[in-house]
Amino acid sequence: MFKKILIANRGEIALRVIRTCKEMGIKTVAVYSTADKDSLHVKFADEAVCIGKPASSESYLNMAHIMAAAEITNADAIHPGYGFLAENAKFAKICGDHGIKFIGPTPDMINAMGDKITAKQTMINAGVPVVPGVEGLLESVEHAKSAAKEVGYPVILKATAGGGGKGMRVVWHEEEIEKAYENAKTEAAASFKNDGIYMEKFVEEPRHIEIQIVGDQHGQVCHLSERDCSIQRRHQKLVEESPSPFMTPELREAMGNAAIKAAASINYEGVGTIEFLVDKHRNFYFMEMNTRIQVEHCVTEEVINYDLIKEQIMIAAGDKLTGKNYIPVMHAIECRINAEDPYNDFRPSPGKITVLHQPGGHGVRVDSHAYAGYVIPPYYDSMIGKLIAVAQTRQEAIDTMSRALSEYVIEGVKTTIPFHLQLMKHPDFRSGNFTTKFLEGFTMQ
Ligand code: MV4
């Protein structure tokens, strides 16, 4: 087992990893930018190393600085968390070259899923359902036009280097395709320095349901059931839950098996997530694979009683999985608490938290790096915590969440708490009747 793990991240996920390391008797090294010198991950780790200026490019994305911190502290593994370098194949390679275990998949596995056309072709070869469309890159406007005729409108254009909605365009009519193609290409080039675009049939009003998987170094892959992440705004998830209110035992079995096939086809090592679009007829289609621990991993942990960070560390150390898949025995909902103003287009609201009271009690988990007096820096994402409610049924989990949200007091900055309080009362949320379009028609009272 590792003796010392460096956590190449900040905020709540750095804290989350430190907590599990402590329970496992593993020493921890925090790294931090000058903007994070008073952060909790710095205080709770056994050692802490400053790695640079506030801008991510000079600190949490600076591979040389992080490797230097790992070498001077003698860390034998690096946990990348999510975001920053978590899906950077070059960083995973550099760790390996320095004899430091990257807690995650190999560079080859990251690359296989990082390029969306490559990933989609890999899934087709593995027999995993994908959205019908055109194989490979679009070569020209003329190609896009003829392809759309074949696929049938509406179609969606996506960037092969993309994910998260950038460089994406929905096209309803032939008159719009030329402009959409040019715009998608320009946006992809600016965002990813790669202007490759591909085309799929547009699935209308889908649900976003993802399967958590775990694979070991010995070729075993298991699934840990689903999370429903349909409650999103501009491709930012706000609420996640498990099980999905749309799930059936048959669909879970089919999606779980497809997810295992997907991961096994690249001999996947580590925890990962297969994202699917699910249409109203419960047809499901591979969308992308995330080769990291995700923000919303906690809902899975709560419904199957399973520490996913511990699993990541055990697998990186060579441990064998039992081969068992897991089905939810509880219901969990997670609300992302962001320093954003829901009454003002979710505008970021950095600054000092003057008063803080976090909820507790039966069925409540708070994963947060916030404390009274903490100054939220403007340089990073605005999530300051996650509130997770767990109960035997979905209705009870919603009631526990509402109660916990009503106890939560954060003063000094605006937060998404009022949004979540209103959402928990919404009849369509309460009945589980929602798709990825749900928040387009939602306004704050
Ligand atoms: C789609 C789609 C409909 N049809 N692909 C959004 C992010 C990127 N990962 C893929 N996305 C979508 N791809 C086809 N063929 C609809 C979306 C989509 C979406 C997906 C999941 C959650 C929220 C979404 C919001 C808008 C569009």
pLDDT single digits (tens) 82-108? 999 999 999 999 999 999 999 999 999
User: Long-range contact list for 425-430, CB < 8 A, 24+ apart?
Assistant: 429/231, 429/398, 430/395, 430/398
15: amino acid identity, one letter:
L
**What pLDDT is stored for residue 444 in this prediction?**
98
pLDDT in tens, 160-182: 998 778 889 999 999 999 999 99
Q: Which of 155, 171, 203, 228 to mutate to test the pocket of ligand 1 (most atoms within 8 A of CB)?
A: 203
**What pLDDT is stored for residue 427 in this prediction?**
98
In a 13 Å sphere around the CA of 185, the CA atoms on its Cβ side amount to 13
Q: What angle do CA 93, 94, 95 make, to 5 degrees?
A: 90
Q: Is 292 a catalytic residue?
A: yes
Alpha carbon 327 to chain centroid distance?
20
pLDDT in tens, 378-394: 999 999 999 999 999 99
**What pLDDT is stored for residue 163 in this prediction?**
78
In this structure, the residues whose C-beta lies within 6 A of any atom of ligand 1 are 131, 156, 163-165, 200-203, 206, 208, 232, 235, 277, 287-288, 436
Mean pLDDT of the region 260-287:
98
pLDDT in tens, 297-345: 999 999 999 999 999 999 999 999 999 999 999 999 999 999 999 999 9
What is the CB neighbour count within 10 angstroms for residue 132? 12
Mean pLDDT of the chain: 97
User: 200 phi and psi, to 5 degrees?
Assistant: -135, 160
**What pLDDT is stored for residue 120 in this prediction?**
97
Residue with tokens 């690249």: 266
Q: Which of 287, 288, 439 to mutate to test the pocket of ligand 1 (most atoms within 8 A of CB)?
A: 287
Locate all alpha helices (DSSP H) within 244-307, ordered by sequence: 249-264, 297-304
Mean pLDDT of the region 217-221:
98
Compute, in angstroms, the gap from residue 206 CA to the centroid of ligand 1. Answer: 8
Catalytic residue among 16, 227, 252, 292: 292
**What pLDDT is stored for residue 416 in this prediction?**
98
**What pLDDT is stored for residue 164 in this prediction?**
76
Compute, in angstroms, the gap from residue 100 CA to the centroid of ligand 1. Answer: 36
Mean pLDDT of the region 356-364:
98
Mean pLDDT of the region 391-407:
99
**What pLDDT is stored for residue 196 in this prediction?**
97
The span from the CA of 9 to the CA of 272, in Å, is 18
With a pLDDT cut of 90, the percent of the chain lying above it is 99
- Asked if residue 6 lies in contact with residue 75, where contact means CB atoms within 8 angstroms, the answer is yes
Domains of the chain: 4-103 (3.40.50.20), 132-201 (3.30.1490.20), 207-441 (3.30.470.20)
Q: Considering only CA atoms, which residue is closest to atom 24 of ligand 1?
A: 436
